[in-house]
Structure formats: C-alpha cells, structure tokens
Amino acid sequence: MLELNYLREKRDEAVERLKRRVNDTYEALVDEVLAVDVKKRKIQHEVEGLLAEMNAHSKEIGALMKKGMKDAAEEAKAKVAEIKSRSQELKQDLAKAEEELKQLLYQIPNAPNLDVKEGKSETDNEEVERSGEIPQLHDGAQPHWDLAAKYNLIDFELGVKITGAGFPLYLGKGAQLQRALINFFLDEAIAAGYAEVIPPLVVNEASGYGTGQLPDKEGQMYHITEDDLYLIPTAEVPITNMFRDVILSQDQLPVKVTGFTPCFRREAGSYGKDVRGLNRLHQFDKVEIVQIVHPNESYTRLGDMVNHVKGILEKLELPYRILRLCGGDLGFAAAITYDFEVYSAAQNKWLEVSSVSNFETYQSTRLMCRYRGDDKKTHLAHTLNGSALALPRIVAALLENHQEPEGIRIPKALQRFTGFEMIN
RNA sequence: GGAGAGGUGGCAGAGUGGUCGAAUGCACCGGUCUUGAAAACCGGCGUACCGAGAGGUACCGGGGGUUCGAAUCCCUCCCUCUCCGCCA
C-alpha cells in the first residue's frame, strides 16, 4: 500500500511517478483516496467528539451513584442514550469510509522511481548493462533438456509420474550440481554480510497478506485447504514476514537476511510460453536475499544487491544483461526492479534468473515493519529483495553455455562445491 | 486424535464492572553521585489516528453482545502451551 500521508503531502509527485506505469486510472484513484480521506476525517472528528461527551457523562454517573444521587444519575443516563444512538450511526459511516479508503489504496500500485521509464510492456524495458561473451558453441550443441537426458542429470518424465509436469527429478551429478549451486549462492550471500535462515516452507494467511501474495495473487500459490496454509512461492514470504509488526531500532539497520528454499508456484494461466525443460517449473530452488533498511539508503543498498548478483554471474562465467523494467512491466509492489537475464546459447534467448527490487515503504505499510529513528518516533522501513539466485535457468545456461564435445565444463568457482570439473 | 491450561505494554507479571492505558519488577533513555564504570538514588518510558495547540479517540488475541460505563461478565472464532496417544 502507498502511504496515505505521502499522497496527502505529495499528491503531484505520486501522480507523476505513477504515470510511468502508463495506466490513466491511477490519477483518478489517488484523487478519490484524498476525497474519501477528507470525508473520513470529518466523520472521525465528529464521532470522537460525541464519544468524549459520552465518556464524560459515564464518569459523572459513577460519581453520582456513589453519592446516592439517583435522579441526577438517571437524567445523565438519558442524555447518554441519546448521544449514543447518534454516535452509532456515525460510527458506521466511519467504518464504511475507512473500508472504502483501504479498498482504494489496495488498487493503487507502488509509485515507480523517477528513473523508471514510462512503458507498456517488456519491449519497453531498458537494458542498462551487458557483460560477458556469448559463447560460440560447437557443431551439434544441444539445448539443456537434451543435455540433461544425455548425461542423465534430470528426469522430467519420472517427475511427471511421481507428481506431475513441472516437478523434475534431479539425478546423480544433476542433483549434486543443485546442491553445489545452493551452497555456492549461500556462501556468497554470507560473505556479503547476510545472515542465513532456514524458514518454514508453508505459511499462514497473515504472512500471505504481509507480502502481498494475498488477496490478489491467490491463484499462484498452492493452498493446503485442510489447514488453510500456503506453500511458499518464494523465500521472500517467510523471510520478510519475520519482520511483520516489528519495530527495529535504527542501529539494527540494515537487516540483511538470506535463505535457501524450494519455491512452489502453480503458474496458473501461463501455459504455452517458455515451458520446455527447466524454463518454467512448479517447484524450483532459490536462494533469496532480503534487506530491511533506512529509507535514506535504500537505493545504495539496491545497488549493492545488484552488484552482488553481478558478482555471482561473473563467477559462473555466464553472459548476462541487466534490464531496468519499464513502468508497465514493473510488479505491483515494486518502485524499481532490475531483472537479470543470462544468455542461453543453445536456445538463443535470454532467460530471466534474478529480479532485484526496492519496494520502498509499499510492503512495510502492510507489514507494519518500522524502525525507531533519532527523533524517537517510528518510521516505516524500506524493504528490498532479490533472487541470488534461482537455480533452474542458471542450470540451463550452465549446461548450454559450458558444453563442449567432451562434456560440460564446471566453472572454476563452482568446482570446490561440486567436487568434479566435468559432467561427461 | 484425546484431556487440560492460558492469551494483558520490549519481556516477566498483577489486575474480576467506574478511581485502569492499566500496579510491580526487569530492560531501555535522561540525570545525580564517580577519575571512569558498576551500584544506589531521582525522573522518564506502549502503539495508532484526529487536532495548529490544549487536548481527544481507539487498542488488554480477533469479532460480536450485556451495561450509563467492560481488560474484568456473556457468546463466538483464532492462536499458544502442557500431558497422553501416534510418528521422524
């Protein structure tokens, strides 16, 4: 949610920023919010005046009763009864206005950072950086799904038998490669100052709301209806919810947490596009990095996170590019997002492997994640997160880009984690 | 799955209809003392919203009810803990 105060104080700036998303309903929504807010405050003022009156009378009644002044007490009671019926009506109006306000705020996405380009879809994303050589593959080079079969690394059909499509089974060196990547990514994160956690893979409804998967993206999560719990679509959910309803002290910031978890996504409605091999799965492994930071430094920290991901991709010797998403392609909760894509040499396309975002206060308003500033007051913290990294497409790119006629070469940095230098 | 206990401020823990936004202790912040620290003593110390301010309102797990008045009584839902059973 956007902060109401921000809209009140900087309405024009908010509208200007929202324009990046190329959707003209937002300006009207902002103004509607402001109008309802005025109405709400007016009602609130009135209600609280009446309640104050009632409270005063009630106290008076207590005193009168004690003194035995029954008649005077009865008189006061009658007065209260009258005020009460009026206040109850107003209370309902107030509740209605509050609900209306909330519903309106839920419909407004985060206001993009002004660096974000106006644009409708992914074709408007800006490439801000590109690094690494796109390898020239030998004749007979294959896409990863063929390589996975050739070297017996992944069995997609067996996964179908056990569970269903999108739940691959990793075998032998394929499984070891997964384990190696997870450890490599975690060690990199720890070296960068992140504290490792192993969170639950199943979360309750409140956590789903906290990070914004609920109520909108309900269909993307697996729902255990019997216990009303959800399988996590990303470690962002349990990790960020560690800080739900928490007031941190300023010197605890920045909080940096990393965690490895499997991720479960129903991928409802996304059939037919890029579904071959490892490109899109219902279950996949990912190491996530999360930061809770002081608002003044969230963009510096975002830069650190981008550099962190770059470092990993370079160590894996994969060619990558960084895209700054345009307004229209930006997620609902993000103020800015950098997508990392690695080049998949045999499929001849870029595959998204990481997404690093600053949510500013959009998540923390819902989470109520705050810190106590120098002024002793509470302020909303900024939250950021990024994948560092998601495994399947990295594996796809590693297999494809590092394939040689005699086998698949493991990048040097990864060898101490795999324990082998070649898959052959 | 069965039985029981309980949810109060950062934590612990009182409070069973008005004097309770809530005792007390710990923690924390400021001060006195001290070369410095500790101890001791004094003072402060929940969150949110409304208001220029004075101040007001709400919140004792959530929701509803009784009452002039509810942390306290009633209903309902949720959660946690303990014991037994089962299991890694």
Q: Residue closest to B29, CA→C1'? A: A376
| pLDDT at residue A63, rounded to an integer | 81
Same domain (yes/no): A255, A318 = yes
* Range A158-178 average pLDDT: 94
CATH of the domain at A35: 1.10.287
ipTM for the predicted complex comes to 0.84
User: What's the CA A249/C1' B32 distance, rounded, in angstroms?
Assistant: 28
Count of domains forming chain A: 2
Residue A390 parent element (H or E) = strand A382-390
* pLDDT at A273 exceeding the cut of 90: no
CB burial string A364-389: b at 16+ within 10 A, e below: bbbbebbbeeeeeeebbbbbbbbbbb
With CA atoms as reference, report the closest residue to A392 among A276, A231, A270. A276
Q: Strand B nucleotides below 7 A of a protein CB?
A: 10, 18-19, 47-51, 56-58, 68-69
| pLDDT at residue A300, rounded to an integer | 97
How many C-alpha atoms does A183 have within 13 Å on its Cβ side? 13
With CA atoms as reference, report the closest residue to A30 among A125, A134, A104. A104
Q: A63: which nucleotide lies closest, measuring CA to C1'?
A: B18
Same domain (yes/no): A56, A150 = no
Same domain (yes/no): A346, A207 = yes
* pLDDT at A211 exceeding the cut of 80: yes
Q: A83: which nucleotide lies closest, measuring CA to C1'?
A: B68
Cβ of A104 near strand B (under 7 Å)? The reply is no
| pLDDT at residue A227, rounded to an integer | 84
Q: How far apart are CA A310 and CA A176, in angstroms?
A: 24
Same domain (yes/no): A60, A149 = no
Percent of all residues in chain A with a pLDDT value above 70, rounded to a whole number: 98
Structural domain including A128 reads: 122-423
Please name every residue paired with A355 in a beta bridge, in sequence order, or none if there are none: A339
Residue A64: CB atoms within 10 Å: 18
**What digits encode the pLDDT tens for the residues A42-87?**
999 999 999 999 998 988 888 888 777 888 888 888 888 888 888 8
- On the 0-12 / 13-18 / 19+ scale of CB atoms within 10 A, A32 is middle
* pLDDT at A247 exceeding the cut of 70: yes
Q: How far apart are CA A69 and CA A58, in angstroms?
A: 14
- Is residue A277 classed as helix, strand or coil in its secondary structure? coil
Same domain (yes/no): A90, A132 = no
Same domain (yes/no): A58, A143 = no
* The two structure tokens encoding residue A64: 């009168």
Q: A76: which nucleotide lies closest, measuring CA to C1'?
A: B68
User: What's the CA A87/C1' B18 distance, rounded, in angstroms?
Assistant: 21
A77 near A291, Cβ under 8 Å? no
Residue A274 CB contacts under 8 Å (≥ 6 apart), including other chains: A280
pTM: 0.91
| pLDDT at residue A411, rounded to an integer | 97
Same domain (yes/no): A130, A99 = no
* Range A139-164 average pLDDT: 93
Q: How far apart are CA A242 and CA A369, in angstroms?
A: 10
Residue A285: CB atoms within 10 Å: 21
Please name every residue paired with A285 in a beta bridge, in sequence order, or none if there are none: A262
Please name every residue paired with A196 in a beta bridge, in sequence order, or none if there are none: A258
**What digits encode the pLDDT tens for the residues A96-110?**
899 899 889 989 999
Q: Which of A106, A141, A165 is the last residue of a domain?
A: A106
A325 near A337, Cβ under 8 Å? yes
Same domain (yes/no): A175, A40 = no
Split at pLDDT 50, 70, 90, the class of A270 is low
Residue A112 counted as domain residue: no
Choose between A24 and A320: higher pLDDT. A320
Split at pLDDT 50, 70, 90, the class of A316 is very high
